[in-house]
Structure 1
Amino acid sequence: MLWVAIIGLVMTGVALALAGRRVLFLYQLATSGQPAPERVEFAKANIGTEIKAQLVEVLGQKKLLKWTPSGTAHFFVMWAFFILATVYVEAYGALIQGAITGTPDFHIPLIGRWPILGFLQDFIAVAALLGLIAFAVIRIKNSPKTMGRKSRFSGSHLGGAWLVLFMIFNVIWTMFLFRGAAANLGNLPYQSGAFASDATAALLRPLGASANQTLEYIGLLLHIGVMLVFLVIVVNSKHLHIFTAPMNVLFSRRPDGLGGVDVMRSGGKVLDFEEADPETDVFGRGKIEDTTWKGFLDFYTCTECGRCQSQCPAWNTDKPLSPKMLILDQRDHAFAIAPYIMATEAERENLPVDVLELAGKPLVGEDGVIHPDVLWSCTNCGACVEQCPVDIEHIDHILDMRRYQVMIESSFPSEAGVMLKNLENKGNPWGMSEMKRAEWIEELDFEVPIVDEKMPEDLEYLFWVGCAGALEDRAKKTTKAVAELLHIAGVKFGVLGPMEACTGDPARRLGMEFLFTMLAQQNIETLNEAGVKKIVATCPHCFNTLANEYPALGGTYEVVHHTQLLSKLVDEGLLTPITPIEEKITYHDPCFLGRHNKVYAQPRDIMAKVPGVQTQEMHRCKDRGFCCGAGGARMWMEERIGKRINTERVDEALTTDPDTVSTACPFCLVMLGDAINEKKNSGEAKETLEVVDVAQLLIKSVKGQKV
């Protein structure tokens, strides 16, 4: 009927106009931010990688399926959007066909009568309906009203989520209404396969042909109308991720937003500190307009699922940082001051007072969008980035804001200032003399070559000892164990000794990019002049910086962590664990070794080959491992809010009733060791409990000596 087609097309035009207006607004707001040409360039240069990411992360829902119940439900609901698009092709075709011929018996050319398509349409619709029920149960079970901050939905916009579930439900029942009536009138393209539509037809058949004809047109308009209203809701809500998630995945850093930190940029170009001008150049993020368009894309794409929040060590120890709320607060602020951002200077004078007041609100501050305690609670552990199903890069947002606070505002925790001074003056966070870096060698009964100019050809590896490994007593035990194991295995190596300086990781993670660059360039010059090709490092922070961040500054080396090299040497028979260690051991994954660099297997492989060792995993391990609290320069900041992160981690370790806690990071050794000592003093841990590096366990078994 003509009037049905007219109503349908008018509704479509109005909805597309409203949605298009919103999309234009979102585009203009995002592009008002800083350029990020490197994102586009990388995507173009790595098209194969990006196609794989779309197939695995978007279509395959890999990250979502890590959370099996909700992931499975989302998988079917997402695929319903794709497959049921064919139903809308049929619906619009029926609308137009009915107006032209009076009979809405349209089918898609070539494939429109295949029973398999009818089956897929009905199957995915029923599966999506079951998914909606699962979502409802999950949201009720995990409601913030009953669980408080323990709910991953705490802080999310809950009303919008329920509205979208209701709209998807409306899409499904209106689909079956018009298809059931169409089947009774012979207008459904499928003779078989569409089982749910046929079942609906059986229910509607007793109403008669006239009623079914009316229901077909009503159902058709309702089905199209619901979709159009849904479209307008989606582009104005968090469910915008339906459209933006594929783009956010496309322009994400690869292999993910972990590992190395991106270099500082201003106006899309790498910032040159020698020529930079604080008046004209952008130093990090001081206001929301300093966000790149990729940052705005992160805002648009957040699904408010709370996976990041549920895994965050800061949030789990009652600190104010929620990675989810960090993104949402920036997004809501950006939307609120969008009229100011997008207006000309002349237009801004006539803006409402509330918009002008918000425009003057600092991005970070006691009265800012982001409270300083939120910013400085982050350990850079990467749990948020690892769990985010749409590749939001929370750490990048935090570090951009830290950079502005540190370099422009000089606003950061006071105790971190001592660390920065020590790095600048002495090349290490403790401010100790560089001559002390080689003192550990004197405690060995063999010679360790110190590379002062050129790396001798007979040396295969440069052993990057690191500040902690050279200067901190507990970490020095790991250093000596690794050196001795390499010596036993016949691996030729040397060290830089006094020539080695901090890699700059604490400075960069704090936000002092200038100091990081200075230290990095100094080390790169030393390494390049010495002709270093291969490096082994015991500190995951040094390992990550050398492997993932130095290449951008001209320092490209083959870098391995000591657990990777030692595992290889054990496999090759160059190291043979003989003496049994009859202990129950639980392993703590260092964040910068595990999540940031995906090294999970080798430390465990080493322990598995030590006779007598019984390993017991903590509840949170591997990619869901819990931080020790030292990353993100937190090692040099006091933890004054909530429960100490290292205490929380040791409490979890104690549930396995271990004889020993093992790890593979000097920072973790210190943090876990301090917490264990506190537990011993309070009688909550046995006196024999200790924390050791995996290398210490290996040398104990290889040599049969006490670590």
Structure 2
Amino acid sequence: MGVVQIVTATIAFAYTALAIGLFVRAGLGMLALVRLGTPDRTRQGDRGARVKTMLRESLGHTRMLQWTWVGLAHWAVFFGFFSLFPILAQAYLETLNPTWSIPWLGHWGPWLLVSEVMATLTGLGILALFGIRMFNQPKAHPVPPQGEASDAGQRDSSSRFENSRQWQAFYIEATILAIVLCFFTIRSAEWALGAIDQTWASPVSSQLAGLFSGLSEDALHTLVTVTAGVKILVSWTFFLMLALVPAMGIGWHRVTAFFNLYFKRHADGAVSLGSVKPMLIDGAPADFEKADPETEPFGVDVITDFSWKGLLDFSTCTECGRCQSQCPAWNTGKPLSPKKLVTDLRDHLYEQAPYLKAAATAKERGGDGAQIEPISIIGSVIDPDVLWSCTTCGACVEQCPVDIEHVDHIMDLRRHQTMIESAFPSEAQTMLRNLENKGNPWGENPAQRLKWAEGLDFEVPVADGGTEFEYLYWVGCAGAYDPKAQKTSRAVATLLHDAGVKFAVLGEAETCTGDPARRIGHEFMFQMFAEQNVEALNEVGAVKIVATCPHCLNTIGNEYGEAGGNYEVVHHTELLNDLVNAGKITPVEQHDGKLTYHDPCYLGRHNRVFTPPRELLGSFAEVTEMPRNSEKSFCCGAGGARMWLEEPIGKRVNRERADEAVATGAGTVAVGCPFCSTMLRDGVADAGREDVEVIDIAQLLARTQEKRAETAEAAAAGD
């Protein structure tokens, strides 16, 4: 063994031991920090399903491939990072002796070809990712004149890398590229030495070998040894960096992402949010009859009030910015960036880590653990405007490749602010008072719940326990009281009646589902509404429910199970589409003019209902899609209880969506949600386009029936 081999091997093995030791220590430290979070027993069980989900989303890159070319490039780098491990193992042998290789595998033709292909794809993938990052760099913020304060709100909303730590990403990309270059240097040198002579197995290296044709055998041996040593140092420096920079989520996600995918909310891998994560106390859904806010956290105030899954989320963020790029708040000039929210919480967690661990150790040893003054997150780490800008649309969760649950963390923060601090937007006070006193956010008289049915040609049956019906029609507060939404309620009832569907309503027994209370953070009020409505639904024997409001659909179908109510809930567009397909409703005339469809967040992303509304519209109209549609649909701005809040910051979300709808050239915007209808109607009016109609799909379908009736009457008169 020569001097070069001795020095190189000594450095490589010593550096490896140091890096592994520090990395393991950092990993154990991260585990200890995550364990400081509160319990969450909802993540237990379904191990087989969780393993399948983790493997499918990691190996299959199912979330990454929503961005096709970026996803493919990342997939290549992902597989190269893990599949080329034997090449790293062989590098240790090459530092000892440049002619050594892994027995049986090292120079086996199929392995040479596979490793060469993977290295090539990895190199091309990392160059593509580097190019994408460079092309999408945030634009420089304008520098204010001397003496003037800079605008803290200045940012490049068009770049998803705004607020990302760019040096971390560039370092990792450079690391992977360096490893690929080392691979081809060693493989080409081995070809030049004659150690490999299978051109089919090394198509790239055989071509590069000519670069070393003038080197002697000793020089080539030295090149292999030194390059192998460099490869080892570069590889383990990555892990050393993780050990030295614990908050380096863009690097740590290569380790933590597998665990985050495994422990995601839906073990079966469902993307939809559906229900809000229930408020947990001691790891289980809160029971307010037993809960004590003096001793148990209601929502989240300090960082350790988050569950351990929340702390794992913060440590897993890759800072890719996909969530930010889709966020309606961020895209309309609001201070909320889902990415920055998570990274700010992560940075705060790691700033507090030494003190939190010391306090936990002291408590384990019998002390009170009060080593530091707890820091309230809202106001010191997260600005209140960030918290209340969220529409809970779920676009961030939909896009996150490592399944971070941004909306759940925002809801936990809101719960504490609302129920403990009473620190929520003042406009919400009226809505909450109306809910408490009248059972609806508008504050209307509960005795007027059936006013929408006045003037119909038939009597709407009210379920009383003895009424026979197939579907319980849940009208909802908007459908009962809002004049525009009442038209949708009448259209749905008429269509169901004409199609021969047996249905009934609760009438005055119906009250708000509690969705706005829950989304504003008032979990206690939500539970009261849930218990009251479940009791009413069970008393009349409701099994199948049809709802015109996606918020009602989501709450009854996904959240009432917590209160003992389990029902089959469908949206009115789903049921009407089935009736059209069955021939029980026959659209007659095609809709005049161009039409576009807006996906409600709580129908689409939250409950994966994308096709039925489009099929129903397709039976009598041609749909022109907006650029942002289906899973990537843009919010109307009403979700997360923002229907009842002012929007003083930035561009109004509904105006942004209205502008997109108008830009399609459509004269009609079809909707399937009363909140979306209100918001988009206001947005279109604000844009000065009174000629554009915003209307529910049911009303459009009912028009075709009215035209048929008019045609029949005219024909009868002619006879």
TM-score, normalisation: structure 1? 0.92
Instruction: Report the secondary structure of 2:342's partner residue.
Output: helix
Q: 1:26 aligns with which of 30, 38, 48?
A: 30
> Aligned partners of 1:137 and 1:523: how far apart in 2?
55
- Are positions 1:144 and 2:159 aligned together? no
Letter paired with 2:703? K
- In structure 1, what is the equivalent of residue 145 of structure 2? none
Provide the C-alpha distance between the structure 1 equivalents of 2:163 and 2:180, rounded to a whole number of angstroms.
29
Are residue 557 (structure 1) and residue 543 (structure 2) matched? no
Structure 2 equivalent of residue 390 of structure 1: 402
Distance 2:437 2:93 in 1: 74
Q: Please tell me whether the aligned partners of residues 94 and 225 of structure 2 are also in contact (alpha carbons under 8 angstroms).
A: no
Return the letter of the residue paired with 1:335: Y
Q: Distance in 2 between matches of 1:125 and 1:619?
A: 36
SS in 1 for 2:24: helix
Task: Name 2:81's counterpart in structure 1.
Answer: 81
SS in 1 for 2:156: helix
What secondary structure sits across from 2:449 in the alignment?
helix
SS of structure 2 residue aligned to 1:614: coil
Query: Which runs of structure 2 are paired with 1:117-196 in the superposition (5 Å)?
Result: 117-146=111-140, 148-187=156-195, 192-196=200-204
| Conservation of the 8 A alpha-carbon contact between 2:94 and 2:224 | no
**Structure 1 residue 93 displacement after superposition:** 4.5
SS in 1 for 2:111: helix
Aligned-residue offset at 1:192: 4.8
Contact between 2:323 and 2:339, CA under 8 Å: does it hold in 1? yes
1-structure distance, mates of 2:439, 2:412: 24
Residue 210 in structure 1 maps to residue 204 in structure 2? no
1:352 is matched with none
CA displacement, residues 264-285 of structure 1 (integer Å, 9 cap, x when unaligned): 1122122210111112112111
Equivalent position of 1:226 in the other structure:
234
Contact 2:112 2:201 in 1 (8 A): yes
What 5-or-longer segments of structure 1 have no aligned partner?
349-354
- TM-score, structure 2 normalization: 0.91
Measured in 2, the distance between the counterparts of 1:645 and 1:69 equals 29
CA shift for structure 1 position 455: 5.2
Match of 2:147 in 1: none
Match of 1:105 among 97, 100, 103: 100
Q: Which moved more, 1:6-15 or 1:662-671?
A: 6-15
Given candidates 349, 353, 358, the residue that maps to 1:343 is 358
Question: Take 2:241 and 2:196, find their aligned partners in 1: how far apart are those partners?
Answer: 30
> Quick one: distance in 1 between partners of 2:137 and 2:522?
40
Q: CA deviation at 1:89?
A: 2.8
1:271 lines up with 2:266 in the alignment:
no
Deviation at 1:190, TM superposition (A): 6.7
Matched position secondary structure for 2:377: coil
SS in 2 for 1:65: helix
> Which secondary structure does the structure 1 equivalent of 2:378 belong to?
coil
State which of 476, 481, 487 in structure 2 corresponds to 1:471. Answer: 481
Q: Which moved more, 1:81-90 or 1:210-219?
A: 81-90
Q: In structure 2, what is the equivalent of residue 13 of structure 1?
A: 17
- Note if contact 1:662-1:694 (Cα within 8 Å) is conserved in structure 2: yes
SS of residue paired to 1:669: helix
Q: Give 2:438's aligned residue.
A: 426
Distance across 2 between alignment mates of 1:257 and 1:248: 16
Once the two structures are TM-superposed, the CA of residue 196 in structure 1 deviates from its matched residue by 2.7
Letter in 2 for 1:694: I
1:543 aligned to 2:571? no
User: 497, 513, 522: which one pairs with 1:503?
Assistant: 513
Task: Note the residue ranges of structure 2 that are not aligned, 5 or more in a row.
Answer: 141-154, 364-369, 711-719
Structure 2: which amino acid aligns with 1:623?
E
After superposing the two structures, state which structure 1 stretch, 491-500 or 181-190, moved more. 181-190
Distance (whole Å) between structure 1 residues aligned to residue 470 and residue 642 of structure 2: 34
- Answer whether contact 2:662 2:692 (CA < 8 A) is retained: no
Q: 2:640 aligns with which of 632, 643, 646?
A: 632
Q: Distance in 1 between matches of 2:709 and 2:52?
A: 49
Q: Given that residues 628 and 646 in structure 1 are in contact (C-alpha distance below 8 angstroms), is that contact kept between their aligned partners in structure 2? A: yes
**Distance in 2, Cα, partners of 1:106 & 1:345:** 49
How far apart in 2 are the matches of 1:487 and 1:74?
53
Query: For structure 1, which segment, 160-169 or 3-12, has the greater mean C-alpha deviation from structure 2 after superposition?
Result: 3-12
The partner residue of 1:674 within 667, 676, 682 is 682
Give the structure 2 partner of residue 362 of structure 1. 376
Asked if structure 2 preserves the Cα contact closer than 8 Å seen for 1:318 and 1:641, the reply is yes
AA aligned opposite 1:161: A
1:559–1:455 Cα change, 3 Å:
farther
| Aligned residue type for 1:34 | T
Q: CA deviation at 1:132?
A: 2.2
Specify whether residues 510 and 706 from structure 1 end up closer, same or farther in structure 2 by C-alpha distance, changes over 3 A only. Answer: farther
Output the amino acid matched with 2:696: D
Range with bigger deviation, 158-167 or 313-322: 158-167
SS of match in other structure, 1:661: strand
Deviation at 1:356, TM superposition (A): 8.9
How do 1:565-604 residues align onto structure 2 when only pairs under 5 Å count? 565-604=575-614
Task: Name which of structure 1's ranges 660-669 and 525-534 shifts more when overlaid on structure 2.
Answer: 525-534
Q: Structure 1 residues 265, 447: closer, same or farther in 2, change over 3 A?
A: same
Residues 457-489 of structure 1 deviation map (CA, whole Å, 9 limit, x = unaligned): x31000000010111111111111000010011
Q: Deviations over 1:318-353 (max 9, x none)?
A: 0000000010000011011111111138979xxxxx
Matched, 1:296 2:311: yes
Mark the CA change 1:705 to 1:474 in structure 2 (over 3 Å): closer, same or farther: farther
1:609-628 equivalences under 5 Å are 609-610=619-620, 613-628=621-636
Counting matched residue pairs gives 679
Deviation at 1:553, TM superposition (A): 1.9
**CA deviation map 1:656-695 (0-9, x unaligned):** 121211100000111111222233xxxx32x432111000
1:133-153 alpha-carbon deviations (Å, 9 max, x no partner) = 222222222111358232110
Q: Is the 8 A contact 1:80 1:124 kept in 2?
A: yes
Q: Distance in 2 between matches of 1:381 and 1:185?
A: 60
Q: Secondary structure at the match of 1:326?
A: helix
Q: Which residue of 1 aligns with 2:336?
A: 321
Aligned residue number for residue 149 of structure 2: none
Deviation of the 1:94 alpha carbon: 4.3
Letter aligned with residue 140 of structure 1: M
> What SS class does the counterpart of residue 615 from structure 1 fall into?
coil
Q: CA deviation at 1:298?
A: 0.9
Could you say what secondary structure the match of 1:447 adopts? coil
Residue in structure 1 matched with residue 152 of structure 2 by the alignment: none
Whether the aligned pair in 1 keeps the contact of 2:359 and 2:371 (CA below 8 Å) is no
| Inter-partner Cα distance in structure 1 for 2:51 and 2:705 | 47
Q: Is it true that 1:62 corresponds to 2:62 in the alignment?
A: yes
Letter in 2 for 1:304: E
**SS of the counterpart of 2:44?**
helix
Deviation of 1:218 after TM superposition, in Å, equals: 0.7
Q: Does 1:380 align with 2:384?
A: no
State how far apart, in whole Å, the 2-side matches of 1:52 and 1:583 are.
Answer: 47
Q: Provide closer, same or farther for how the CA distance between residues 343 and 370 of structure 1 changes in structure 2, counting only shifts above 3 A.
A: same
2:604 partner SS? coil
- Percent identity, aligned pairs only, is 48
Q: CA deviation at 1:125?
A: 1.5
Conserved? CA contact 1:286–1:363, under 8 Å? yes
Quickly say closer, same or farther: Cα 1:259–1:345, change in 2 above 3 A. Answer: closer
Query: Is the Cα contact below 8 Å between 2:272 and 2:607 reproduced in 1?
Result: no
Whole-angstrom distance in 1 between the partners of 2:424 and 2:277: 21
Q: Do the aligned partners of 1:616 and 1:656 also contact (CA within 8 Å) in 2? A: yes
1:145-169 superposed Cα distances (whole Å, 9 cap, x missing partner): 3582321100110111111111111
Residue of structure 1 equivalent to 2:150: none
* 1:309 corresponds to 2:328: no
In the TM superposition, what is the alpha-carbon distance from 1:579 to its structure 2 partner? 2.7
Q: Which amino acid aligns with 2:611?
A: A
Which aligned runs of 4 or more in structure 1 are off by greater than 6 angstroms? 345-348
Q: Secondary structure at the match of 1:215?
A: helix
Separation in 1, partners of 2:53, 2:113: 29
Query: Does 2:663 correspond to 1:655?
Result: yes
For residues 429-469 of structure 1, what are the alpha-carbon distances to aligned partners after superposition, in whole Å with 9 as ceiling and x for unaligned? 011111111111222110111113x153x310000000101
1:360 Cα deviation from its structure 2 partner:
4.7
